[in-house]
Structure 1
Amino acid sequence: MKAIRVISKLPRRLLSAQAARKVEVTGATDHVRFEPQEVQVTNLPSGLVITSLENYFPASKIGVFVRAGCRYETPDNMGVTHLLRLAAGLTTKGASALRICRGIEAVGGKMSVTASRENMVYSVDCLRDDIDTVMEYLINVTTAPEFRPWEVSDLTPRVKMDKALAAQSPLVCVIDGLHGAAYKNSLSNSLYCPDHMVGNIQSEQMHHFVHNNFTTARMALVGLGIDHAVLRQLGEQFHNIRSGLGTTGAMSQYRGGEVRQQSSSSLVHCAVVSQSARVGTPEVLAFSVLQHILGAGPHIKRGSNTTSKLIRGISKTTSDPFDATAYHESYSDSGLFGVYTVCQYAAAGDVIKAALAQVKAVADGAVTAAELTRAHNQLKAQYLMSLETSEGLIDAMGTQALSGGVYISPDTVTESIDNVSLTDIANAAKTFVVRKKSMASSGNLVKTPFIDEI
């Protein structure tokens, strides 16, 4: 309890004043000039990575990134990360659920929890003067949960509601099914609690998962709008609670396969992928540029993305309405690349085969220098604009801190994108063409080919 509450003894700070320099101007009101700051990264002896950017905003955003996504679940606790997302506001050893809720609301703050297959992210937004208050609750939630049995059992209706909402989205169903078909383990785990585990996950299983995965060596503390020295002082509170490497998750094993979800919908959603590159490799940028060459969604609201090779190629084979985009996802040890199509059920076969034909054409060298330049610009713009939001920037900082304990500057990333050549693009497309495929589809599938027919 002492280690948890010691943070409340830290004095309040006007953080902006620490980094600001006042400049006297004769006959005018004093002006404050802020020196531009770079992202700073510190690796503590405990293994915790601390990274921050002082952007002088009046509001701060702080996140705790934990390498504890659903890929680290086992058959005994399948779905536990789904419950952890819902249990973020429950009673901890240092604060009750009511105190957490009222305390954050009282200062106008906000706490949220998101999860991917790799990581869980606990984040808080608040005014600068209230950092100490919200950090007390953030540390409690991430390091000292109680998981009282009656509170855990009350989560069951919310789990069912989440699953029901997800089932209404064909996109969510296809992508989730795609991972189940593509991998034997680890990355095949669903983001949602499986049906047979709903109501069967107990507080002991949640404690066991947190104890083995929520350790300092698997965490990164990331802050925007906060001085790095202050954030480091806050991060040292984690050292007194739980340290160590935790459990090592199994390496993902790509297998290839197919999942078909028959429904009464007249539309068919279908994704066909193969294994691509993992995060941190040079090949991953080639697949990202290839995604934009083929088409990565419309760039104009309700537009048709006429520059997309997929759209132009498929439109020659059918007059029915359709949509198509390239799909790319990378993880720490694997990746998926392919095409995602939506069309009327009667045209499913023609649309899917035409989309795959466009990838093969790129593998054969059917890409011009102008198309490559346009894809470079689109990818750089997408990346840089994602950093314009606090959510996108803190996500980039936290993900990089967890994966390598560093931060790669935007200039370095954009330079690497420009270095992707036509040969790199062709090789990436060839990788997709020759490797074993995985497929997931949903809708009226009477006209949808099986994976061995494409």
Structure 2
Amino acid sequence: MRGIRSFNSIPKRCYAARRSGSLTEPLALRKTSAAPLTPQNVQVSKLPNGLVIASLENHSPMSSVGLFVKAGSRHETVENPGVAHVLRLAANLTTKGSSAFKICRGVEALGGSLSVTSTRETTVYTAQCLRDDVPSLLEYLSDVTTAQEFRQWELEELTTRVKIDKAMGQQSPQIGVMEKLHEVAYKNALSHSLYCPDFMVGHVSPKEMHAFVQANFTTGRMALVGLGVNHSVLRQLGEGLLSSRSGPGAPVALAAYRGGEARMHSRDDLVHLLVASEGSAVGSAQANAFSVLQHVLGAGPHVKRGSNITSKLSQGIAKATSQPFDATAMTASYSDSGLFGVYTISQAGAAGEVIKAAISQIRDVAEGNVADADIDRAKNQVKVEYLMSLEDSDGLLQEIGAQALMTGTYQAPDTVLQAVGAVTPEDVVKAAKSFVDGRKTMVASGLLVNTPFVDEL
């Protein structure tokens, strides 16, 4: 291995060594390329059993396949909180067709990878390998997603991993306040945490796991997405491997926004404060307006290791407090609801001034005091941020899968950019007004001696 790693230390000038004489003839060993491969568009089809198949043939020697399932934490019930978190960590356990060792060994033998991620709405199983090995790797993917066994002793062995995963995920105050924000903002569904609650750690039973899978892992709630895969091949594989999960699945409860407040007291002099109101569902025109408003106010630094001094939030806070405290606008969109708000980090003594100054900037926009140049800048930032998310295969796979699962179709980037470009100043002002007039949700953590209550904002 040291010999391989030593190549990284070779100076770049070694690759630029001059060759005596000019190269006028092609190298003898170089094969002339065939006709250029034509780029293809994303193909989407829906099987009679409800399974959505989406693919993009990019002619890459590496293929990526993702199975997107509507089985996030929002689909948990009062009886089984935390089951989605345990399910995410149980992806490598023994199935009816393969042992845990066989799955690991088989995927390694193909030189591939198999991973799982989850959000409040979806669980995504992703497999990557050389394109010729896609059928073999998909057999393991099918086992992991449709033939789970959930043996009691294997679930018990997951307890330590669940605790560690939860501790690592919630070690930052930002994640803590975001989790608490959803818990307070909604009555059901989206109020469920991404992590297993303490009282359920080690107590999620195989019966609860099987019930959750049976209710949610059905073809009517799945999308099979591939990059570097022929659409007909992916469709044939989907018909064969996932046929055992036919059905529409259990009905999904709509999220009910309520608003409220949570104050998490500690001795930390650094106060993290998040104030939000209900936003808009993903894919809607109003969601685009909220995204533009977010960047008008300031969505974080755009220069590496730089400050956020150009944002309206930072400018307003600096003017009110004479100190450059951190503040960013946030937005989160889901299939049936969303959140929009402002997140501030400040010293305990200035927390009240900082959050009031930040909210005053949103009120300023709601009154129409926003320049067209600021809106144009914000729309450009939204467009670039979206296009950059599609630059790598993981981001592109996630985008295609999210659209295919949500709508059963796919909108090309040009269509998305046109929708963002169609946002008007009036749309942005309307979005700001909806925040100002809407019912608020506030979460604060730290030394809250000078932190106002939500009804005082």
AA paired with 2:122?
A: N
Bigger Rg, structure 1 or 2:
2
Shift of 1:135: 0.8
Residue 123 of structure 1, CA deviation? 0.3
Residue of structure 1 in register with 2:371 after alignment: 368
Per-residue CA distance 1:83-129 (angstroms, 9 max, x = gap): 00000000011110001111111222111111111100000111212
Cα distance in 2, alignment partners of residues 205 and 247 from structure 1: 15
2:320 is matched by which residue type in structure 1? T
Equivalent in the alignment of 1:30 = 32
2:437 corresponds, among 411, 417, 434, to 434
What is aligned with 2:344?
Answer: 341
**For 1:449, which of 429, 435, 452 is the aligned residue?**
452
**1:118 counterpart (115, 118, 121):** 121
The Cα RMSD (Å) is: 1.4
The CA deviation at 1:321 is 4.3
Where 1:241 maps in the other structure, the secondary structure is helix
Q: Which of 193, 204, 208 is the aligned partner of 1:201?
A: 204
TM-score with structure 2 length normalisation? 0.92
Counterparts of 1:405-444 in structure 2 under 5 Å? Answer: 405-444=408-447
CA spacing shift, 1:239–1:127, aligned 2, 3 Å: closer
**Partner in structure 1 of residue 221 of structure 2:** 218
1:44 and 1:144 map into 2 onto residues whose CA distance is: 21
Separation in structure 2 between the aligned mates of residue 166 and residue 387 of structure 1, nearest angstrom: 25
Take 2:226 and 2:445, find their aligned partners in 1: how far apart are those partners?
40
CA distance in 2, matches of 1:452, 1:369: 32
Cα distance between partner residues in 2 of 1:89 and 1:161:
17
Q: Which residue of 2 aligns with 1:353?
A: 356
CA shift for structure 1 position 239? 4.5
User: Which range is displaced more, 306-315 or 81-90?
Assistant: 306-315
2:314, 2:324 within 8 Å by CA — same for their partners in 1?
Answer: no
| Superposed CA offset, 1:239-275 (max 9, x none) | 4211111111211110001111122222111110000
2:279 and 2:337 in contact (8 A); partners too: yes
Aligned to 1:293: 296
Bigger mean CA deviation after superposition, 232-241 or 334-343: 232-241
1:251 equivalent in alignment to 2:258: no
Q: Distance in 2 between matches of 1:137 and 1:320?
A: 55
Conserved 8 A contact 1:70-1:81: yes
Give distance in 2, aligned partners of 1:443 and 1:219. Answer: 41
One-letter identity of the residue aligned with 1:214: F
Q: Deviations over 1:398-431 (max 9, x none)?
A: 1111111000010011011111000000000000
Partner of 1:10: none
Contact 2:317 2:323 in 1 (8 A): no
Q: Aligned to 1:88, what secondary structure does the other structure show?
A: helix
Q: How far 1:386 moved relative to its partner?
A: 0.4
Partner of residue 102, structure 1: 105
Q: Percent identity?
A: 58
Check conservation: 1:50, 1:232, Cα contact below 8 A: yes
Partner of residue 156, structure 1: 159
Distance 1:100 1:387 in 2: 30
The C-alpha deviation readout for 1:32-82, integer Å capped at 9, x for no partner, is: 321111111011101000101111222111100000110010011100000
Superposed CA deviations along residues 213-235 of structure 1, whole A, max 9, x for unmatched, are 00000000011111111111111
Q: Contact (CA 8 Å) 1:286, 1:420: kept in 2 or not?
A: yes
The reply to whether residue 394 of structure 1 matches residue 397 of structure 2 is yes
Aligned match of 2:79 in 76, 81, 105? 76
Deviation at 1:320, TM superposition (A): 3.7
* 2-structure distance, mates of 1:213, 1:183: 22
Q: How many residues align?
A: 430
